[in-house]
Amino acid sequence: MSDKLNDLQFKSFRDIIYNASGIHFTDVNRPILENRLRDRLRKTSIASLDEYLKKIKTDETELKNLLDAVTTNLTSFFRNKVHFDGFINHVIPDLKKRKDDRKIKLWSAGCSTGEEPYSLGMVLLDKLGPGWKIEIIASDISFNVLMKAKEGFYQKTKTTGIPPEYLSRFMIDVGDGYQVKDELKNIIRFDYHNLSNDSGLRNFDVIFCRNVIIYFDAVAQENVVNAFYGATNDYGYFFIGHSESLFGMKTKYKFTKVGDTCLYMKKEGRFKDE
Q: How far is the CB of 85 from ligand SAM (least distance, A)?
A: 16
Size of the site for ligand SAM (CB under 6 A): 25
Indicate whether 194 belongs to the interface with ligand SAM (CB under 6 A). Answer: yes
Instruction: Build a one-symbol-per-residue string for 169-188: x at contacts with ligand SAM by CB under 6 A, - elsewhere.
Output: --------------------
Question: Are 90 and 261 a contacting pair, CB within 8 Å?
Answer: yes
d(Cα 231, Cα 236) in Å, to the nearest integer? 10
* DSSP-derived secondary structure for 166-225: HHHHHEEE-SSEEEE-HHHHTTEEEEE--TTS------EEEEEE-SSGGGB-HHHHHHHH
Q: How far is the CB of 6 from ligand SAM (least distance, A)?
A: 26
Please give the C-alpha separations between residue 149 and each of 15, 111, 196, in angstroms, as whole numbers: 29, 8, 21
- Decide if 68 is catalytic: no
Please give the C-alpha separations between residue 258 and each of 13, 76, 94, 152, in angstroms, as whole numbers: 42, 23, 12, 32
Cβ proximity to ligand SAM: between 115 and 235 the closer is 115
- Looking at 36, 40, 79, 210, which residue is catalytic? 36
End-to-end Cα, the chain, rounded Å: 62
Indicate whether 212 belongs to the interface with ligand SAM (CB under 6 A). Answer: yes
Part of the chain binding ligand SAM (CB under 6 A), chosen from 156-164, 205-213, 227-235, 256-264: 205-213
- Decide if 234 is catalytic: no
Question: Are 66 and 33 a contacting pair, CB within 8 Å?
Answer: no
Indicate whether 21 belongs to the interface with ligand SAM (CB under 6 A). Answer: yes
Indicate whether 196 belongs to the interface with ligand SAM (CB under 6 A). Answer: yes
**101 CB-near residues (< 8 Å, 6+ apart):** none
Restricting to residues 67-106, which ones interact with ligand SAM according to CB under 6 A?
71-75, 79
Instruction: Build a one-symbol-per-residue string for 215-234: x at contacts with ligand SAM by CB under 6 A, - elsewhere.
Output: x-------------------
Cβ proximity to ligand SAM: between 46 and 240 the closer is 240
Indicate whether 140 belongs to the interface with ligand SAM (CB under 6 A). Answer: yes
Indicate whether 145 belongs to the interface with ligand SAM (CB under 6 A). Answer: yes
d(Cα 12, Cα 19) in Å, to the nearest integer? 11
Indicate whether 119 belongs to the interface with ligand SAM (CB under 6 A). Answer: no
* 225 CB-contact burial (10 Å; exposed 0-12 / middle 13-18 / buried 19+): buried
Indicate whether 136 belongs to the interface with ligand SAM (CB under 6 A). Answer: no
Indicate whether 206 belongs to the interface with ligand SAM (CB under 6 A). Answer: no
Cβ proximity to ligand SAM: between 50 and 85 the closer is 85
The number of angstroms, rounded, from the C-alpha of 46 to the middle of its chain's C-alpha atoms is: 31
Residues composing the chain: 274
d(Cα 32, Cα 211) in Å, to the nearest integer? 18
* 62 CB-contact burial (10 Å; exposed 0-12 / middle 13-18 / buried 19+): middle
- Looking at 68, 140, 205, 210, which residue is catalytic? 140
Would you name the residues annotated as active-site residues?
A: 36, 140
Residues that bind ligand SAM (CB under 6 A): 21-23, 71-75, 79, 110-112, 116, 140-142, 145, 194-196, 210-212, 215, 241
